[in-house]
Amino acid sequence: MSLSVSRLEAARSLLFVPGDRPERFGKAVASGADVVIVDLEDAVAAADKERARAEAAAWLAAGNSAMVRINAPGTPWSDEDSAMAAACGAPVMVPKAADPGILADFARRTGGKCPVMPLVETAAGIERAVEVCAAPGVVRVALGNVDLAGQLGVAHDDHEALAYSRSRLVSASAVTGLSAPVDGVTTSVQDTEAIAADVVRARRFGFAGKLCIHPAQIAVVAERFAPTAAEREWARSVVAAGESVTVVDGHMVDKPVLERARRILAADG
């Protein structure tokens, strides 16, 4: 059973699980994450890549659902990772995404069977964000903040330093008609205050989901990405005011504001 595109587009919490740790696959699903990502890339040592791919294939073939983070195109493992994902009909996270031609080639080789979520984690990917978002098969994009920060020479948790990159992904997603992007990881695994603060900042930028590295992060991400009580109350009052330009609580309401209110209520549903 593969993950639907609509589920990928709406997911708030996306949890990585190492591909060479099959005993954790079921626990990842039980965490309540909207999407589980079986990771064949960074979480797996080179010597264990083939075993991880086999474990992922067996689990998916048994009827389980997950996204697969393949190894980056051009590495020795990428082609076989892609073939496995296509055979299972699994959506794919493509790391180091920067070249729309490579993404188009991936879509061609997999026969369009795999919805694609590019992980944008290089300066080149940020600068070509619109092209990446518009590539064939892409349903949503995610930010790889740790790798990107390393290339830029800044701290991965420095929100000011990565503000430009985040804004580029949000804008590129909007202009190409994709769902709002997925923010990168918070490396403080058990620090709920840190991840809550990160989600609040991500929402302000326009992100609507977050990559997670531990089940303890899932509940906080789900809660903080959901509309607040004040947002829901505001949205209901705006929608109730009707289609015409009007004033609600002293502020002008026109079509763009009404559309935002409807999005909030839809996200709450």
User: Are 70 and 159 contained in the same domain?
Assistant: yes
- How many domains are contained in the chain? 2
DSSP the chain: -PPPHHHHHH-SEEEEEETT-GGGHHHHHHTT-SEEEEESSTTS-GGGHHHHHHHHHHHHHTT---EEEPPPTTSTTHHHHHHHHHHHT--EEETT---HHHHHHHHHHTTT-S-EEEEE-SHHHHHTHHHHHTSTTB---EE-HHHHHHHHTS-TT-TTTTHHHHHHHHHHHHHTTPPP-EE-----SS-HHHHHHHHHHHHHHT--EEEESSGGGHHHHHHHHSPPHHHHHHHHHHHHT-SS-EEETTEEE-HHHHHHHHHHHHHH-
What confidence tens digit (pLDDT) does each residue in 59-108 have? 999 999 999 999 999 999 999 999 999 999 999 999 999 999 999 999 99
What confidence tens digit (pLDDT) does each residue in 233-265 have? 656 666 666 665 565 566 666 566 666 666 666
> CA 77 to CA 114: how far, in whole Å?
17
The residue among 226, 243, 261 that closes a domain is 226
User: Are 210 and 234 contained in the same domain?
Assistant: no
109 annotated ligand-binding residue: no
pTM of the complete model: 0.87
69 annotated ligand-binding residue: yes
- Helices 100-109 and 78-88: angle between axes, nearest 10 degrees: 50
User: Are 219 and 260 contained in the same domain?
Assistant: no
User: Are 220 and 240 contained in the same domain?
Assistant: no
Is pLDDT larger for residue 247 or for residue 7? Answer: 7
Pairing of strands 35-39, 13-18: parallel
> CA 159 to CA 54: how far, in whole Å?
38
Is pLDDT larger for residue 126 or for residue 247? Answer: 126
260 annotated ligand-binding residue: no
User: Are 219 and 242 contained in the same domain?
Assistant: no
User: Are 30 and 77 contained in the same domain?
Assistant: yes
CA nearest 29: which of 215, 222, 186?
Answer: 215
pLDDT for res 226: 78
pLDDT for res 2: 73
User: Are 207 and 84 contained in the same domain?
Assistant: yes
pLDDT for res 52: 98
User: Are 208 and 255 contained in the same domain?
Assistant: no
User: Are 111 and 186 contained in the same domain?
Assistant: yes
User: Are 141 and 231 contained in the same domain?
Assistant: no
Q: What are phi and psi of 17, to 5 degrees?
A: -140, 130
Domain that holds residue 244: 227-269
User: Are 156 and 249 contained in the same domain?
Assistant: no
Bridge partner list, 119: 142
What confidence tens digit (pLDDT) does each residue in 164-218 have? 999 999 999 999 999 999 999 999 988 999 999 999 999 999 999 999 999 999 9
Pull the structure tokens for residue 229: 């009580």
User: Are 137 and 180 contained in the same domain?
Assistant: yes
Q: What is the CATH number of the domain that holds 132?
A: 3.20.20.60
pLDDT for res 252: 61
- 120 in Cβ contact with 143 (< 8 Å): yes
